[in-house]
Amino acid sequence: MKIVRFLDESNITQTGFYIGDNGAEIVSGNIEKGFIKTGTIKTIKEYLPPLEPVNIFAIGLNYLDHIKETSMERSDFPVLFMKATSSVAAHNSTICLPECEIKGPETDFEGELAVIIGKRVKNATVKNALDSVYGYTCANDVSARRWQKYAGENQWVRGKSFDTFCPLGPYIVTRDEIDDPSNLKIKTELNGKIMQKSNTQNMLFSIGEIISFISRDTTLLPGTVILTGTPDGVGFTRNPRIFLQSDDIIKITIEKIGSLINIVK
């Protein structure tokens, strides 16, 4: 089942079961209580983010090859940071290069699997953590590298939280559609060229371990989004470095989910 949020032809925000790029069957309800079909079909005029997150947690350095390319050390615990909820953007929308980037734009891409929490959970065990998951979507952890590395005083939040820096979508694929989220192919393309190509089985910390870690003495609410880390191939580790430029098209594809596409301006 694929849950999509969109504007219909009357510019009304709708939520529905995705039935193709041209339409969705409208539903009532929410992620926590579930959705009920109404039988009404509406045309998708414009995609919206598949949800309005209550919180966005993110994991850094969760693929060994990415750790190696950044010359950083492997941690004994998940490297946790947060992104502003105001950074969320939709499929087919624009990623805006920040005007306040230090000494010019160094805006990078990071294709990631995003987990959507569906029910309130606290102190989850690794074994039962997936019971709290509603579904999965594609994410791009867009990063202003100079802000992340220098101007943030070792805090990554600022460089990760500019407007449009968290594209999600194009829809949420419910948990029952994905037997094993720990074995999904993930790929990032920039203007048609493959930049990142890996599999979620290469994550150092599994989804269960991540949820268990974050939920320790911390309540995760329905609608919480967790970005699970990016594989190797990001722009700032390349020689020469590759950063997002105006009119670039970035595409993130995850097996059994779909493709999240954005243009840069």
Of the given ranges (157-161, 225-229, 251-255), which has the lowest mean pLDDT? 157-161
CA distances from 179 to 112, 174, 176 (A): 18, 10, 7
The pTM of the whole model exceeds 0.85 = yes
Per-residue pLDDT, averaged over 122-142, amounts to 98
Residue 127 predicted with pLDDT over 70: yes
pLDDT over 90 (residue 101)? no
Whole-number average pLDDT of the chain: 95
Instruction: Please choose, from the candidates 231, 195, 199, 171, the residue with its C-alpha nearest in 3D space to the C-alpha of residue 50.
Output: 171
Terminus-to-terminus CA distance in the chain, angstroms? 33
pLDDT confidence tier of residue 150, bands split at 50, 70 and 90 = confident
**In terms of Cα–Cα distance, which of 201, 233, 179 is closest to 68?**
233
Percent share of the chain, pLDDT over 90: 89
What pLDDT score was predicted for residue 102? 63
Instruction: Give the residue-averaged pLDDT of 206-224.
Output: 98
pLDDT band at 79 (very low <50, low <70, confident <90, very high): very high
146: confidence class by pLDDT, cuts 50, 70, 90: confident
Spatial separation of the C-alpha atoms in residues 85 and 82, rounded to whole Å? 9
Domain 49-264, CATH 3.90.850.10 — does that match? yes
**Confidence (pLDDT) at 147:** 86
Q: Confidence class of residue 217 from pLDDT cuts 50, 70 and 90?
A: very high
Task: Using CB atoms within 10 Å of the CB of residue 173, give its burial: 0 to 12 exposed, 13 to 18 middle, 19+ buried.
Answer: buried
**Model pLDDT, residue 44:** 97
The better pLDDT of the pair 101, 10 is held by 10
